[in-house]
Chain A
Amino acid sequence: MSTSTETTDREQAAFAAVELARHPARPRALEVIGVAFDDWTELRGDRLFGEDRAVVGGPARLGGRSVMVIGQEKGTDPMTRALHNFGMPHPEGYRKAQRLMRQAEKFAMPVICLVDTPAAYAGIGAEERGQAWAIAESLLCMLAVRTPTVSIVLSEGGSGGALALAVADRVLALENAVYTVAPPETCAAILYRDAGQRARAAAALRPGVDTAYDIGLVDELIPEPPPGAHAHADVVIGAIRGALIRHLNELEQIPLDALLEQRAERYRRAGG
Chain B
Amino acid sequence: MDRPAGPVTARRQPPRRRLQAPGPQLTPVTHSATIACPACGRRFVADRYAAELYVCSGCGHHQRVGAAQRIAQLADADSVETLQFDIAERDPLQFDDGVPYTDRLARARERTGLDEAFEVARATIEGMPVVLACMDFAFLGGSLGSAAGEIFARACEDAVSERRALVAVCTSGGARMQEGIASLAQMARCSVGVSMVSKAGLPYISVLGDPCFGGVTASFAVQADVILAEPGARIGFAGGRVIEQATHDKLPDGFQTSEFLLAHGMLDAVVDRRNLRDTIATLLGLYSRPT
**Interface residue from A1, A189, A215 paired with B92 (Cβ < 8 Å):** A215
Any B CB within 8 A of the CB of A211: yes
Interface-lining segment among B27-35, B58-66, B124-132, B174-182: B174-182
A189 touches B242 (CB 8 A): yes
Does any Cβ of A come within 8 Å of B246's Cβ? yes
- A127-B236, A127-B243, A131-B218 known; A181 vs B175 contact (CB < 8 Å): yes
User: Which of these binds chain B: A23-31, A248-256, A263-271?
Assistant: A263-271
| Complex contact A215–B195 (CB within 8 A) | no
Is residue A83 contacting chain B, with contact meaning CB distance below 8 A? no
Question: Which residues from chain B contact A102 at a C-beta distance below 8 Å?
Answer: none
Asked if B84 is at the interface of the complex by the 8 Å CB criterion, the answer is no
In the bound complex, do residue B96 and residue A272 qualify as a contact, i.e. CB atoms below 8 Å apart? no
A215 near B182 (CB under 8 angstroms)?
yes
- Checking A132, A140, A271 against B236 with a beta-carbon cut-off of 8 angstroms, the contacting residue is A132
Q: Mark B165-208, 1 if CB is under 8 A from A, else 0.
A: 00000000101011111111111110111111000000000000
CB distance from B236 to the nearest CB of A (A): 5
A129 x B264 contact (CB < 8 A): yes
Within B80-103, which residues are at the interface with A (CB < 8 Å)? 90, 92-93, 95-98
CA distance A129 to B264 in the complex (A): 7
B1 on the interface (CB 8 Å rule)?
A: yes
Complex: A190 Cα to B280 Cα, angstroms: 34
Measured between beta carbons, the chain A residues less than 8 angstroms from B246 are: 122-123
Q: A123-B249, A181-B175, A187-B177 are in contact. Are A128 and B264 (CB under 8 A)?
A: yes
A160 CA to B264 CA, complexed, in Å: 22
Q: In the complex, which residue of chain B has the Cβ closest to the Cβ of A204?
A: B97
B185 contacts A120, C-beta separation under 8 Å: no
User: Which of A139, A144, A204, A206 meets B187, CB within 8 Å?
Assistant: A139
B-chain residues with CB within 8 Å of residue A163 when the two chains form the complex: 184-185, 187-188
Q: Complex: how many Å from CA A212 to CA B194?
A: 23
B238 and A127 contacting across the interface, CB-CB below 8 Å:
yes
The answer to whether A140 and B187 have CB atoms under 8 Å apart is: no
Residue from A1, A205, A206, A270 in contact with B185 in the complex, judged by beta carbons closer than 8 Å: A270
In the bound complex, residues from chain A placing their C-beta under 8 Å from that of B112 are none
Tell me if B73 is interfacial: C-beta within 8 Å of chain A. Answer: no
- A143 within 8 Å of B (CB atoms): yes
B164 to chain A, nearest CB (A): 19
Contact segment of B18-26, B114-122, B250-258: B250-258
- The closest CB in chain B to the CB of A88 belongs to B246
A34 on interface, CB distance cutoff 8 Å: no
* Contacting pair B93 A136 (CB below 8 A): no
Selected from A140, A167, A205, A272, the residue in CB contact (under 8 A) with B194 is A140
| CB-defined contacts of B256 to chain A, threshold 8 Å | 127
Of the A-B pairs whose beta carbons lie under 8 Å apart in the complex, a sample of 17, sorted by A's number, is: A120-B238, A122-B246, A127-B237, A131-B237, A133-B266, A135-B218, A140-B195, A189-B242, A204-B178, A205-B177, A206-B181, A217-B184, A268-B192, A271-B179, A271-B185, A271-B186, A272-B1
B interface list, Cβ under 8 A from A: 1, 3, 90, 92-93, 95-98, 146, 149, 153, 173, 175, 177-189, 191-196, 214-215, 217-223, 236-238, 242-243, 246-247, 249, 251-252, 255-256, 264-266
**Measuring CB to CB, which residues of chain A are less than 8 angstroms from any residue of chain B?**
1, 120, 122-124, 126-133, 135-137, 139-140, 143-144, 159-160, 163-164, 167, 179-182, 186-187, 189-192, 200, 204-207, 211-212, 215, 217, 264, 267-272
